[in-house]
Structure 1
Amino acid sequence: MHSIQRFDDAAVAAQEAVGRQTFDQVMVPTYAPSAMVPVRASGLDLWDQAGRQYLDFTAGIGVTSLGHANPAVVAALRAQADTLWHVGNGFTNEPVLRLAKALTAATFAERAFFCNSGAEANEAAFKLARKYAHGKFGPHKSRIVSCVNSFHGRTLFTVSVGGQPKYTEGFEPLPPDLHHIPFNDIDAARAAITDDVCAVVVEPVQGEGGVLPASVEYLRALREFCDAKGALLIFDEVQCGMGRTGKLFAYMGYGVTPDILTSAKALGNGYPIGAMLTTEAVAAAFTVGAHGTTYGGNPLAAAVALKVLDTINAPAFLARVGAAASYLKDKLDGVAQEYPQVFATVRGSGLMLGMVLSEGWRGKAKEITKAAEAEGLMLLIAGPDVVRLLPALVVTDVQIDEAVARLRRALDTVVAAQ
């Protein structure tokens, strides 16, 4: 009787209306979501439970780069859903093989490993780097160097490699042999990259750390130091890759090639998938059973990702990203000049832009994004001092104009309230 009652209760619960207050009742409190609950979206337009329209300049934190419910991506998912969903890693499948061939053909890489997220892609990259160094040089070569204010995921390993103590507090003891250096500091990198370093990991454009691009000189220096010390260079392109900077991957715009590259977010346009790309020589350190994942290379995810890759990796598409990025940057520069008391500068790369708050407004990025949401514009923060914009790569000039108009109205509100 008890089990029947629980079944009946579950059936009733599944039919009950839910809202923002439901989150506080049933969810583990790891987030503090907005009061509005999105229910449907198309392109960059999104509607909440009350039917109100928003202009989405977050892309799900850089995920839906082809826009919500993109027809071509939806068609690819539906076609694969009618064919083969999942087989497990005891078998391979056609979609994942096609995706691997396409990614290796489009990049420096010769081998691909697929997983479910950026954190898992980075976890695989860090494990591979240590395995490679252990086999080639011995166990003493294990240290991983990353940057202060970097972000590489939320597993215990990846969050420890990330250089933001606020994400590791209370989770000690942390994995050892990790070293954090200032971003874009060549002298600090030279001093840190010694013979015991197995890998250096860097975001070509720091995302959560403030939308801060690496300099060409810095990435070239990291490549030089890694080569000199036999360390692997890992580029975390989970946020800045897949067309976000106007290149398929950001490294292509720098002319600096990593040994390992990680991708996720926009790779699946909302369907969970991550990828670790590397060379044949490095990949050989992972033998059968050395690493794995149940869902990695899932046919559904791979079919979606291949359609996303084919769409983004086209000269005309990437050229349009560059044009849209220039237009948005010019508009935001205008806003910053119009509100100099609020913004110090606008920085970033491509359609990954951050509006840096002035000294008197530091710590108020969230206040600005909340005001923008009240005007129907969805924005992000990158720490407390940067308002971040990550619109879908298909954003139009008309949508940029409307977003800027809504941002101005939001700024008028917050400025007047000071």
Structure 2
Amino acid sequence: MSKEIKVPAVGESITEVTVGQWFKKDGDQVEMDEVLCELESDKATFELPAEAAGTLRIKAQEGDTLEIGAVICVIDETGSGVSSEKPSAAAPAEASSGSAGPKATGEVKEMVVPTVGESITEVTLANWLKADGDFVELDDIIAEVDSDKATFELPAEATGILRHVAQEGETLEIGGLICKIEVMEGKPASSNSETSSSVAASATPSPSKESYATGHASPAASKILAEKGISPEEVKGSGKDGRITKEDAQSAQKQAPVAKQEKKEESVAQPAIRVAGSRDEKREKMSSLRRTVSRRLVAVKNETAMLTTFNEVNMQPIMDLRSKYKEQFKEKHGVGLGFMSFFTKAVCVALQEWPAVNAKIDGNEIVYHDYCDISIAVSAPKGLVVPVIRNAEGLSFDQIEKEV
């Protein structure tokens, strides 16, 4: 008996979806409610679970656009009991065929940047997930590519040896050559040994069920985790088969460094001490998405009316402190204790806690400053002047007052 899996209705205004990626291959055994693939609409990405247990027969390929109600795959329920006997019977044949290793076919598959949207003309290679010279199988994720709207994964289009053409951080046009795959038949001996060991391990009962989705973050969750600076490995997914959902990413907190890392930091703390008055900078290249966001924000600021927000702060403790010590302060340091030194120190603390506020954009890079230069408007006899206090984060209250 065969069960047809159709594209479900996902919204009133959505009439078609695109097959994003298959988590299972044609002919694989699947269980009830196991995630088969990802479907993408013009509004969201969602998962398609299996509606029965059996052998999967794929009808639509990755990238195909289907209407709501169209058949996307078929599950052969009659083949569910046969598959359990196949591994033992086929094991000797696989061992004998695998010992020979992969064979080169002489064919070279050139992979180009796919079309990811009508308005997207170029993408940036974010990072390689497979190294140059690695053996990859069909549909293995080999790289992550950034556009000015989203980040997407690049699957291998053939089985063989991967050869990098483009480097990380390089910007490529749609259709540009990104890598080559030297097509081969069979698998390397190492993969067969790993397969046999994994089969042996699967024979023993395990407390948790893991699959491709375990620890895998959805596109929305990946974006939130990247903004927080949290690795997906640090988050435990609550979704199907351990998948990281958007809610998991929103509630995730950056873990405190473990004791081992603290010891390592202590050992290198001496050379890492920042010299007083240093003016170090750190540069990070922006992704295409970040560049587009920054460009649009500047355009909005210049083209629309901006709203100024006023926040009230209780300054009474500062006023009491100043009244109590201002005479002693002036006698000791020869300068009056004003409010600007309090404001300056508070700003420096905030900038060190949020370095992005103290950063600037230089071309396609974000430049983070390890110092705080504070400008203060001062009324002088000749008019209003704005002196700049350099490295204010390292100055004391009396030094700030003297600079002003």
Flag whether TM exceeds 0.5 (same fold): no
Higher helix share: 1
Higher strand share: 2
Larger Rg: 2
Q: Using structure 2 for the length normalisation, give the TM-score.
A: 0.19
